[in-house]
Structure 1
Amino acid sequence: MKSIPAIVIHGGAWAIPDRMSQSSHQGVIQAARVGFQILDRGGSAVDAVEAAVMCLEDDPVFDAGTGSVLNADGQIEMDAMIMNGSGLELGSVACVKDIKNPVNLARKVMEESDHTLLVGEGANDFASEQGIQRVPPETLLTAEAKKEYDEYVKFKTAVNISFRARSDAHDTVGSVAVDSNGNTACATSTGGITAKRPGRVGDSPLVGSGGYADDHVGAASTTGHGESISKVCLAHSCLHLMQEGDSPQAAAESSLISMQRRVQGNGGIIAVSHNGQVGVHFTTERMPWAYISQNEMHSGINPGDHFIEKL
């Protein structure tokens, strides 16, 4: 039985400033187009989410790949994951510093290794073995990320603001998809949070937290306060509700409400069912999102937004 192909994108749930709002919105729309072109040609959900997230990683407005923020030592550390809902195959990387597209490396871990997660220098060494080019980290650094780091360090010396309380922190990008064969996939990628402790890993590369895909149910990708998301295994919680009968939209909303009640965390979820239903919800100030299904582009960034364009 054929399914209705669909792809959903998010560009991070956080207090996106006005100067970045339009470019963030347009960035997720472009990533949705890139991923859906693959689905429309009969391609796989895994290929689609990888291509979409690579598009976001190459867009400097997002905190992933090029555009990743700096940790407390002034270095870039990136995390990513990808999961194939057919067979529950998974690949993740964490704390990589010189990879242009970490999601591509995560896929290599999934398909070319016996492991599900590689970190730090071990992940970088594996990249070299797989022929993935290692780039000078400074080529991933944008003027915006450097400015944000300098401002935060200056601000931190004057005001004691907790890591958890920050609403200005950049965050994850992600994608979920279902292809015409009913196969599902998810992918996430992040440069983390400005001035984070070196070695800190949030939810993004953790299976069940930053993303999860199961062809029997669907796929979800999350964004927001990583420690909160990890505590409640947000992506898997969303899929569990879908498995119990909730629509992707209802499951996304309920999962975020539950996380806020249990651990006082905010964030966002995108989800898709194995039959092509879509869910998008967030509890932060903004989250750029877009999805394509049945020849329509849907998108938004502010609460209440829902723009529709016929394709």
Structure 2
Amino acid sequence: MIKTGLTLICIFLMGFLLSSYGQQASPKRYVLAIHGGAGTILKKNMSDSLERAYVAELTKSLREGYRVLQAGGTSVDAVTAAIQIMEDSPLFNAGKGAVFNHKGENEMDASIMDGKTLKAGAVAGVHTIRNPITAAKAVMEQSEHVMMVGAGAEEFADSKGIVLVDPSYFWTKPRWDALQRILQRDKEATALDHDDKQSNRKKYVDEKFGTVGCVALDQQGGLAAGTSTGGMTNKKYGRVGDAPIIGAGNYANDQVAISCTGWGEYYIRTVAAYDVAAMVAYTHVPLAKATQAVIDKIAELGGDGGMIALDKNGEVAMPFNTAGMYRGAITADGAVEVAIYKD
């Protein structure tokens, strides 16, 4: 009897130790991740107060999305809530902080996708929708379409009770000053060409891509991805980047959700977001390897930027090939992680 009792105790202890070891060794399970843009983001150019402001806004966005998930909300609702926080901040190139196009107007794009149903919605070239991500969600849930553009998208948003604002709401001095600097550089470059002088000045490209995005995993196992942007400073002719294009700047299915930020033309050409999902589905490579492979492909073509991705197991990946990317994630137990620079 004593021998049998000792054996049972040993078995119990071994099981407890193995269980404890398994808990300690198991990876973190993430439920939501965000990005706030990638580009030439260097600590030497960032004041302490501005860095704290970015960290605060990223943290606020993560916690708002997490609050929705904790209450049993869907990944779509969590993505929308998290992105709205960043759209309302002048720090990011989306919503309130949208950059100006060549005409001195704020022209915004957004998209969202539900991985459970493969439904998606997007708006492009809008000027008066306070939170473009809410309009994209309305297109997905309250219309038979996927994308609406310009005045038509604004008319639809108004009919669905989406908040519209006067275009002056989006005016911010830092974005306006950025446009003026670029216009001046273009003017100087044109003058040099006209005088037949050799110019070593490279064509100006945004130093920071402030597109915002979110990916989320809800308690029912549903994944969703969303992206919102003001586009590129000084863009012309109604240019639309990857952010509102499903498969390029945004994609979600029942396995993985991806949101991108960067030089949109390259993400469109590589169908970047879907490429990640396809690699995961067809070659079963780890998420980190799939996302890095796509970022490497973009770099080979001459593009730059980054992306965030989250899979059904709670694995997260956030690769980028720029000096920095505003990014963050939150685990199932509510632990917040925020980063800005490469190292």
TM-score, length of structure 2 as denominator length: 0.83
Query: Residue 30 of structure 1: CA displacement?
Result: 1.6
The Cα of 1:25 is off from its aligned counterpart by 3.2
Q: Give, in angstroms, the shift of residue 98 of structure 1.
A: 0.6
Matched, 1:218 2:250: no
Q: Is the 8 A contact 2:30 2:316 kept in 1?
A: no
Indicate whether 1:64 and 2:89 are aligned.
no
What letter matches 2:39 in structure 1?
Answer: W
Q: Highest Rg: 1 or 2?
A: 2
* In 1, Cα distance between equivalents of 2:237 and 2:107: 8
2:226 alignment partner in structure 1: 187
For residue 198 of structure 1, report the CA deviation from its aligned partner: 3.5
1:9 aligned counterpart, secondary structure: strand
Cα offset, 1:22, TM superposition: 3.8
> Which residue does 1:166 correspond to in 2?
205
Residue 56 of structure 2, aligned match among 20, 26, 29: 26
TM-score by length of structure 1 reads 0.92
Where 1:133 maps in the other structure, the secondary structure is coil
Q: Deviations over 1:67-107 (max 9, x none)?
A: 11110000110000000001100000000001110000000
Identity %: 36
CA contact (8 A) 1:77 1:95 kept: yes
**How far apart in 2 are the matches of 1:170 and 1:269?**
12
Q: Distance in 1 between matches of 2:202 and 2:72?
A: 47
Q: 2:154 aligns to what SS in structure 1?
A: helix
Rounded to whole Å, the distance in 1 between the matches of 2:55 and 2:265 is 26
Write the distance in 1 (CA, Å) between the matches of 2:72 and 2:168: 38
Compute the displacement of 1:169 (Å).
Answer: 4.1
Partner of residue 115, structure 1: 145
> Can you give the 5+ residue segments of structure 2 that lack an aligned partner in the other structure?
1-28, 191-200
Letter in 2 for 1:92: A
1:176 to 196, 203, 215: 215
Unaligned runs of 5+ in 1: 305-311
Deviation, 1:108, is: 0.4
Write out aligned runs for 1:128-277 (5 A): 128-159=158-189, 166-215=205-254, 217-243=255-281, 244-261=283-300, 263-277=301-315
Cα RMSD after superposing both structures: 1.7
CA deviation after TM superposition for structure 1 residue 127, in Å: 1.1
Report the CA distance between 1:202 and its aligned residue: 0.2
- Check the 8 A contact 2:298/2:304 in 1, yes or no: yes
Equivalent residue letter for 1:221: S
Question: Which stretch shows the higher mean deviation, 278-287 or 100-109?
Answer: 278-287
Aligned position for 2:3: none
SS at match of 1:288: strand
Relative to total residues, which structure has the larger helix share, 1 or 2? 2
1:280 aligned onto 2:281: no
Deviations 1:153-178 (A, max 9, x none): 11221136666x62414331000011
Q: Report the equivalent of 1:294.
A: 332
Q: Deviations over 1:123-150 (max 9, x none)?
A: 0110111122320111111111111111
CA contact (8 A) 1:178 1:218 kept: no
Residue 230 of structure 1 aligns to which amino acid in structure 2? Answer: I
- Which residue does 1:308 correspond to in 2? none
Output the amino acid matched with 2:125. C
Aligned length: 299
Q: Bigger CA drift: 288-297 or 176-185?
A: 288-297
Deviations 1:167-219 (A, max 9, x none): 4143310000111111000000000111111310000000011110001x110
Residue identity in the other structure for 1:198: Y
Distance 1:132 1:167 in 2: 30
Q: Secondary structure at the match of 2:157?
A: helix
Query: Secondary structure of 2:111's partner?
Result: strand
